Amino acid sequence: MPALVRILIVIAGLFGAAGVALAAVAAHQADAARLGPASSMLLFHASAILAATLLCERGLIGRIPGLVAAFGLAIGVALFAGDLTLRHVAGHALFPMAAPTGGTLLIASWLVLAGAALWPRR
């Protein structure tokens, strides 16, 4: 199994674990409104990263655009959920416009994934 695929699987596993942990904190802590969306984004996209990786490995989509989409999803979720979580825990943003940047990257990555399915593999 190529190293990039292993890295994506590890990232997905960490995102899944973090998503469950944030959901637990949000359920038990008062005023944890930002943690619910962060948890959801982590959990949903952990599965999406695994799916994109599997599509690449099975040869159902082009390897390069599929991996670009998977890493884009990983970076986008890290920015989006990381910003929301840091705002809750530390009271400040990751950096200005981190969450919108992450969200835009997520949208672009989903579009790359869709495009990877439309273009024939070489």
pLDDT by residue (tens digit) across 28-50?
A: 988 888 999 999 999 999 999 99
Q: What integer pLDDT is reported at residue 30 of this predicted model?
A: 84
Which of 99, 5, 97 is closest to 49 using CA atoms? Answer: 5
Angle made by CA atoms 24, 75, 118, in degrees to the nearest 5? 115
Q: Is the model's pLDDT at 1 over the cut of 90? A: no
Rg (the chain; Cα; Å)? 15
Residue 122 — very low, low, confident or very high, per pLDDT cuts 50/70/90? low
Q: How many domains does the chain divide into?
A: 1
Euclidean distance between CA atoms 15 and 81, whole angstroms? 10
Q: Is the model's pLDDT at 22 over the cut of 70? A: yes
* Residues of the domain holding 94: 3-118
Longest dimension (CA), the chain: 53
E runs forming strands in 1-122: none
Residue 7 — very low, low, confident or very high, per pLDDT cuts 50/70/90? very high
The answer to whether 58 touches 84, Cβ cutoff 8 Å, is no
pLDDT by residue (tens digit) across 53-110?
A: 999 999 999 999 999 999 999 999 999 999 999 999 999 999 999 999 999 999 999 9
Q: What integer pLDDT is reported at residue 31 of this predicted model?
A: 87
Q: What integer pLDDT is reported at residue 32 of this predicted model?
A: 87
Q: CA dist 14 to 42, 47, 70, 118, 122, Å? A: 9, 11, 15, 30, 32
